Structure 1
Amino acid sequence: MQSHRNPFSCMRRLFCCVIGKFTNLIFPHVSPYGRRSGIRGEIVIVQSSGQPADPVKSAFIQICSATTVDPTTGKGKLSEKAYLRYGKSNVSNGEKTTTYKIMFRVEPGFGTPGALIITNQHEHEFFLKSASLRTPNNQTIEFDCGSWIYPFVKTGTGRVFFSNTKYLPNQTPHALLKLRKEELISMRGDGEGERKEWDRIYDYDYYNDLGNPDKGKEHARPVLGGSDLHPFPRRLRTGRPPSIADPSTESQPNMVNIDNIYVPPDECMSSKKMSEVISSSIQAAVPFLIHGAKSFFEQESSSFESFDEVHYIFSGNRSLIVEEWITENLINVLPPKVFKEITYESIGAPFKSPLPQIIAENELAWKSDEEFGRQMLAGTNPARIQRLEKFPPTNKKGKIGAMIESHIQDNLDGLSVAQAINQCRLFVLDHHDYLMPFLERMNAKDDCVYASRTLLFLKNDKTLKPIAIELSLPSPYNGDELGTVFIPARKGEAAAMWQIAKAQVAANDSVYHQLISHWLQTHAVVEPFIIATRRQLSMMHPIHWLLHPHFKDTMHINALARNILMSSGGILEKTLHSAEISMELSAELYKDWRFDEQALPADLLKRGMAIKDPNPYNPTGVQLLFEDYPYGADGLEIWVAIKTWVTDFCSIFYTDDDSVSSDQEIQSWWLEIRNVGHGDKCSETWWYRMTTLSDLIQALTTLIWTASAIHASVNFGQYAYYGYPPNRPTLFKKDIPWEGRVEYGEFLKDPDKYYLKMLPGKLQMSLSVALLEVLSRHASDEVYLGQRSSSMVWINNEEVGKRFDKFSKELKQIEKRITERNRNPNLKNRRGPSGIPYTLLYPDTSNVELKGGITGKGIPNSISI
């Protein structure tokens, strides 16, 4: 039987079909047949200077369901592709952004979006700032992206971003579970090949990139890490080929272009910050990067003749020749995209250095014994001093111990040595045992280094009075050591020799500060935590979100430091008395490093600067020996604030100990940190077991404290104290003028001039000052503790916001209390003779935009310089 169709019915169907398709084109969320619905999206990208026009127009995005699984893939259902078209541009605070409004077509039952996948089909990368989605039921879903999107032809894959809702692994929506695991696997890589600019791969390697044996044997350096002799934390693997002369050493990058130093794109500092760092670094780096500087080296090799002449390095005149080099050669040193952002004015500004605080208020305060002792409590290295618990402070019995005791007995306010120890009033700054094995090598090249022990007495006003300095060298005859003890003196030759002995101590403390307190115990030890976090904690994990701001720029700064500052012939080898042994010394001290002792209360107890407090309501569990210890007093308040914030945060996501021990990502994270990142320490029993919520809170608090407060305390005061080299020298070119030597007559004739001749020449001193000025600067876009970047979309959890506000408010109260303590005339160590208030642990939570420079205060969230 033949079928007959109603012509009107066919026309009606045709009409509906045409209207339906037209409607879908204009209003994709409308679907007459219910086959498709729409989700509105808003995508924000940042336009970079020099970026090709509209690379985004070749990019498309798909959103992934968090609630509906596609049975063919085992992942969440995907929307249709949506291309970025017709964006609207805006400029705010110097940042140009373009916002694209798009519509995603999805099938019925798509559910709630939980991820988006963006694919860049252009030949250039672009920066995706954020995205937000609006579902048909008016639910808003935010995505904090903040990442570069590289071309698909380079990456071979689209880029995945998860929404701002955070989940523990066992709480992950089933539709996102597979995507969560795949994203982590992709970031681990296979450990093969050389990393390229667009690779988002995090893997570990030894410090095998410090030497450059292809330049000659004198540039060979041992591999740090992976051995009992030179244990060290791991660094990020770059995969550069081995050097020709030594296959165990990685070849050096081409430093004519600093872009050749690989770090994953998400770890790179902004181009704005890079231009700031380069502009302020030129005076330190140019002499080492540009050839043909011999005349300037020769001209500036002479010593200063007087302390007044030292002010020469702050006059601005020292840089005239260097400025000529810059204008002629800078374009050959920097990549074009960085060079474009550096103006002549920004280059010229850093050469006019401000007067260091140590001499700004009182030019002679640095010479006083009181200031010398105060800097051990409130200077740049305030966590080395310790209480003396036994006497003598050496395993050598007999002459040295008896000599020290006879010298100090009259300086203890009527107490015996035993009474002073029992009353916790004797302290020691010890730079002896770890230095002694290295001294012969250090002194083989005309440097003059001594191992030192300094004894100090706590006076009734709680200031520290140095009472004896022991300087030692290895004996060339019997394997023993030669030691001399210096005691305080106020006049004549003895006073001048005492000043030289204090300078030797300051040099040891300065080198320890740079290599151990600063580099090893903040920069180096934190990098493995960053790598492990990226490899083992999904971006969906709440702990990843908690830690993310405390890792900002650290890997990039570390990579630059390894290649410019710490490599063979680098700036640190030129300016520290440890020279080419510097990183070996750092590895030697890593043998004593313990993660649990980086917690401030544990550190204070270990050094005897605090005792256990029986009061169960004391959140720190410790009590300082004396209140006027600025680093300890301010630090304990910051420690409690961080721990309270971490506790509040973790309690939102973890209900008990089982929820921690069953968190597979946290367990893998901690296992990798121990066994790989700090693999040379994996057998130690002091690592937290990570089986309880308390373990997790303590580990996270210690990590955040290290990346923020410890680094701030040892970094941002450098220029204030080291900026005047006589106060904190880092090496000596002439020996102590011992009686009976030719130099002794020169010393007697003019002790001050002889002291200055002991210091490096004008060029080395200028380079050292320039470097310290760079390191002491805050970036203009710095984000401080208790703050979140204004560009950062908040985590999708109201309770987290409330707890963070509580944290920020507590930090503001701490600022007030620090200010009050600094005004208290009874707390003499807060300012001392130099008049420098202790603000290195002042959080600086003010909301001033684009603040930066040398402020002497502020705790950045991360190790960002």
Structure 2
Amino acid sequence: MPSYTVTVATGNQWFEGTDDYIYITLLGTEGCSDRTLLDKPLHNAFERGAVDSYDVIVPENLGDIEMVKIEKKKYWVQDDWYCMYITVKTPAEVCVEFPCFRWLVGDKEVVLRDGRARLPQDDNTTQGKQHRQEELEWRRKVYRWSEWQPGFPMSIDAKESSDLPRDIRFDSDKGVDFKLNYSKAIENLLLNKFMDTFQSSWDDFTDFEQIFVKIKNTMSEYVMEHWKEDLLFGYQFLNGCNPVMIQKCLKLPDKFPVSHEMVAACLERHTTLEQEVEAGNIYIADYEQLEDISPNSTDPDTQQYLSAPICLLYKNTQNNMMPLAIQLGQTPGEGNPIFLPSDAQYDWLLAKMWVRSADFQVHQNVTHLLRTHLISEVFAIALYRQLPAVHPIYKLLIPHFRFTIAINTKAREQLIGEGGIFDKANGTGGGGHVELIRKGMTSLSFRSLCFPDAIKASGMDDTTELPNYFYRDDGYRVWDAIKSFVSAVVNIYYCTDEMVQGDQEIQAFVKEVVSCGLQDFHYCEFPKWLKTREELTEYVTVVIFTASAQHSAINSGQYDWCSWIPNSPSTMRKPPPVKKGVADVQLIMASLPDRGRSSWHLGAIWALTQHQDDELYLGMYPDEHFIEKPVKQAMDTFRKELAEISCGITQRNEGKRMPFDYLSPDRIPNSVAL
């Protein structure tokens, strides 16, 4: 009688093996096998990391094996099992692969398709169509939308991590607990000794060095040494952890009445301010989103303040970005002076610190949380609800959502929820962060997530005009590499634009993002329909770039740039100055975060920037969802291009005191998982 060899691979993380009974049924074009128990006497099958083979005897040939059914039944107590893949070798020595990469929880039955990717219009059998439909019906019951806050992107319907489907929870090696990690950070950084004086101000800038005692980070040390300098202040707009705020100034805004006389001493080309604007040498960073945002009032004993500053910057003859003028509010006039480099030392320093604090608030809430974490969760939920595992775009995108929903759920529990770390340490805690994200939503459009479009919209796209904007230059290279890879995969499965139009599942995915995930907010302008392969390629590139490169660019540098508290105050405890000549060291220290909030802040950013030992970086796809050789060849080409980009970045950074490597592909995690 014909014999089929079935090989089963169990996950290699802790607790991914099982002692439960595992049964298999082979479904072929000519028939199906009996339900067969996979077991071997005196053999501990399905242990963690095991790859075991079994013989399934059938009375007659089953034809081409199209599906396998796996069943898990309780042996003693329910014991969850993570199945990586199954292969079936037929009597004709044909090996058929069945990717799984999912958990079987309880008495569970899973039917797997063979590993070939198929568009819905290419699935001609009734059995295949029914399998797609049943899989999506089940997923829509499990992956449900929920509104965490009005005006936010929708999120997963789960109040805590244990409510999540098992397939998207953290694995045993990646488990994240912000409070636990924060506690570890407090211990590792020797911050416990400051907690007894929580609301006590620091006495001098040098006191902050006390919480640098265990830092082994040359960038942080460099920031500590040079943070007062205008050169470092301006550089951060280009290559710090929030390099998206700066724009070319095409016209001086009426609300920011800077005159030539105010800044003439800083202009190196012997021209007027207006001429410098016309020549493209003037830039601006406007934090108007912070206007009227409620400052943190969770602690009745400590008043906290926010401002919405505007900062004018000048590209000097060495192509360095230098601050020219700062206004700490949006409305000009008496009580809102324009601070200048020619002002008294501490007036100018305090004004710059207010800008840095505002930058921290916008970075954390809008650039980071909203525009990478929350939007990636929208893409992920829509994917689970509308694309079956057999769809090529599902296979392409699923590695880029690893742990994303889990990290966001944990953040809502412990970081941005009531009583979380935001409330304890940040000036926008206690509800201001919610207001700010709602405002940020009004500028979240699809085109703003397309990296080249966003750079062009800011007027920062001329690489010869501003040669040291590494965020832009590296971002272009990584974007192009991702887009080239996505285009190759798209064109393997879609031979014509009409095939894109006829793919009801991909159209449902795109519609789900905008209509459900973004609730049809009119200002988002996300596509509801894709007509061409180029449009599909761009859409998928946006999803991957946002989840990987963009998140890396604005997350990885947090400890570098924000751990020296005066350079990036998480809150301010005195109001913005309303006149010049009042700032001194005492006022600045009273304005900066106190000892306790400094410790919360430092512990949090340390915890949020620690990569896991088993982190998966861009181009790494250990779970082989694709089996087709053309896709694997495209992956090889992608990895080679990424390696060349990494090598180029390494060479450029040699000898630099401030190397920029946040967009080096070998440092870009595949997904939003921190």
| 3-state SS in 2 of match to 1:796 | coil
Q: Which residue of 1 is the match for residue 63 of structure 2?
A: 111
Q: Which residue of 1 is the match for residue 278 of structure 2?
A: 422
Q: Which residue of 2 is the match for residue 639 of structure 1?
A: 479
Partner amino acid for 1:675?
S
The within-5 A match list for 1:88-237 is 96-106=48-58, 108=60, 110-122=62-74, 123-152=78-107, 158-172=109-123, 174=125, 175-189=127-141, 201-207=142-148, 223-224=149-150, 231-237=151-157
Instruction: Compute the displacement of 1:101 (Å).
Output: 2.0
CA distance in 2, matches of 1:647, 1:860: 21
Instruction: Compute the displacement of 1:144 (Å).
Output: 2.4
Partner amino acid for 2:35?
K
CA distance in 2, matches of 1:279, 1:114: 46
CA distance in 2, matches of 1:481, 1:587: 30
CA distance in 2, matches of 1:375, 1:516: 17
CA distance in 2, matches of 1:452, 1:664: 47
* Bigger CA radius of gyration: 1
Q: Which residue of 2 is the match for residue 437 of structure 1?
A: 292
Q: For structure 2, which runs of at least 5 residues remain unmatched after alignment? A: none
Partner amino acid for 1:114?
E
The within-5 A match list for 1:233-248 is 233-238=153-158
- The structure 2 residue matched to 1:459, chosen from 316, 322, 330, is 316
Q: Which residue of 2 is the match for residue 550 of structure 1?
A: 400
Residue 660 (structure 2) pairs with residue 864 (structure 1): no
The within-5 A match list for 1:607-686 is 607-610=458-461, 625-681=465-521, 685=525
Residue 638 (structure 2) pairs with residue 817 (structure 1): no
Whether the aligned pair in 2 keeps the contact of 1:404 and 1:485 (CA below 8 Å) is: no
Residue 36 (structure 2) pairs with residue 59 (structure 1): no
- The structure 1 residue matched to 2:168, chosen from 258, 263, 267, is 267
CA distance in 2, matches of 1:90, 1:360: 52
Q: CA deviation digits over 1:636-691, x for unaligned, max 9?
A: 01111011001111111111100100011111111111211111426755526401
CA distance in 1, matches of 2:292, 2:18: 61
Normalising by the residue count of structure 1, what TM-score does the alignment of the two structures yield? 0.72
CA distance in 2, matches of 1:367, 1:740: 18
Partner amino acid for 1:785?
L
CA distance in 2, matches of 1:471, 1:427: 17
Task: Specify whether residues 447 and 685 from structure 1 end up closer, same or farther in structure 2 by C-alpha distance, changes over 3 A only.
Answer: closer
Q: Which residue of 2 is the match for residue 409 of structure 1?
A: 264
Partner amino acid for 2:552?
A
Instruction: Compute the displacement of 1:119 (Å).
Output: 1.5
| 3-state SS in 2 of match to 1:778 | coil
CA distance in 2, matches of 1:679, 1:624: 41
Task: Specify whether residues 112 and 803 from structure 1 end up closer, same or farther in structure 2 by C-alpha distance, changes over 3 A only.
Answer: same
Q: Percent identity?
A: 27
Q: Which residue of 2 is the match for residue 306 of structure 1?
A: 204
Let me know the Cα RMSD of the aligned residues: 2.9
- The structure 2 residue matched to 1:716, chosen from 544, 556, 559, is 556
CA distance in 2, matches of 1:481, 1:183: 64
CA distance in 2, matches of 1:428, 1:683: 24
Whether the aligned pair in 1 keeps the contact of 2:195 and 2:596 (CA below 8 Å) is: yes
Q: Which residue of 2 is the match for residue 786 of structure 1?
A: 619
Instruction: Compute the displacement of 1:713 (Å).
Output: 0.3
Instruction: Compute the displacement of 1:296 (Å).
Output: 7.6
Instruction: Compute the displacement of 1:805 (Å).
Output: 0.7
CA distance in 2, matches of 1:719, 1:451: 24
Q: For structure 1, which runs of at least 5 residues remain unmatched after alignment? A: 1-29, 31-36, 69-76, 190-200, 208-222, 225-230, 241-252, 254-258, 287-293, 316-352, 612-622, 825-830, 845-857
- The structure 2 residue matched to 1:389, chosen from 237, 250, 258, is 250
CA distance in 1, matches of 2:367, 2:452: 17
| 3-state SS in 1 of match to 2:370 | helix
| 3-state SS in 2 of match to 1:39 | strand
Task: Specify whether residues 481 and 137 from structure 1 end up closer, same or farther in structure 2 by C-alpha distance, changes over 3 A only.
Answer: farther
- The structure 2 residue matched to 1:728, chosen from 565, 568, 573, is 568
| Structure with larger RCO (C-alpha < 8 A, sep 6+) | 2
Whether the aligned pair in 2 keeps the contact of 1:358 and 1:366 (CA below 8 Å) is: no
Q: Which residue of 1 is the match for residue 221 of structure 2?
A: 360
CA distance in 2, matches of 1:740, 1:542: 62
Instruction: Compute the displacement of 1:64 (Å).
Output: 2.5
The within-5 A match list for 1:6-85 is 30=1, 37-46=2-11, 49=14, 55-56=19-20, 58-65=21-28, 67-68=29-30, 77-85=31-39
CA distance in 2, matches of 1:450, 1:592: 20
Partner amino acid for 2:19?
P
Q: CA deviation digits over 1:806-855, x for unaligned, max 9?
A: 1111111111221232248xxxxxx4xxx2210100111xxxxxxxxxxx
Task: Specify whether residues 610 and 707 from structure 1 end up closer, same or farther in structure 2 by C-alpha distance, changes over 3 A only.
Answer: same
| 3-state SS in 2 of match to 1:549 | helix
Whether the aligned pair in 1 keeps the contact of 2:98 and 2:115 (CA below 8 Å) is: yes
Partner amino acid for 1:582?
H
Normalising by the residue count of structure 2, what TM-score does the alignment of the two structures yield? 0.92
Q: Which residue of 1 is the match for residue 628 of structure 2?
A: 797
Whether the aligned pair in 2 keeps the contact of 1:378 and 1:631 (CA below 8 Å) is: yes
Partner amino acid for 1:803?
A
Q: CA deviation digits over 1:573-626, x for unaligned, max 9?
A: 222211221122111110111012211110011111115xxxxxxxxxxx5642
Partner amino acid for 1:304?
W
Partner amino acid for 2:230?
D
Q: CA deviation digits over 1:230-274, x for unaligned, max 9?
A: x22110113x6xxxxxxxxxxxx5xxxxx53x2221111211111
CA distance in 1, matches of 2:286, 2:412: 28
Instruction: Compute the displacement of 1:42 (Å).
Output: 0.9
Residue 471 (structure 2) pairs with residue 573 (structure 1): no
Task: Specify whether residues 595 and 684 from structure 1 end up closer, same or farther in structure 2 by C-alpha distance, changes over 3 A only.
Answer: closer
Instruction: Compute the displacement of 1:543 (Å).
Output: 0.6
Task: Specify whether residues 502 and 129 from structure 1 end up closer, same or farther in structure 2 by C-alpha distance, changes over 3 A only.
Answer: same
CA distance in 1, matches of 2:233, 2:651: 24
Task: Specify whether residues 457 and 785 from structure 1 end up closer, same or farther in structure 2 by C-alpha distance, changes over 3 A only.
Answer: same
CA distance in 2, matches of 1:446, 1:810: 52
